[in-house]
Structure 1
Amino acid sequence: MASIIKYLGCIIFEKAQDILILGGIVLFIVTMFKYVSVFAGSLSLSIVLILLGATLSKIRS
Structure 2
Amino acid sequence: MFDDPLPQSLLIPGMMVEFAHGGARQIVTFRGSEVWVTGEALDPVMDGYPQAIKLRIK
Structure 2-normalised TM-score?
Answer: 0.21
Kindly indicate which of the two structures has a greater share of residues assigned to helix: 1
Q: Tell me: higher relative CO, structure 1 or 2? Use CA pairs within 8 A at least 6 residues apart.
A: 2
- Choose 1 or 2 for highest CA Rg: 1
Structure 1-normalised TM-score?
Answer: 0.21
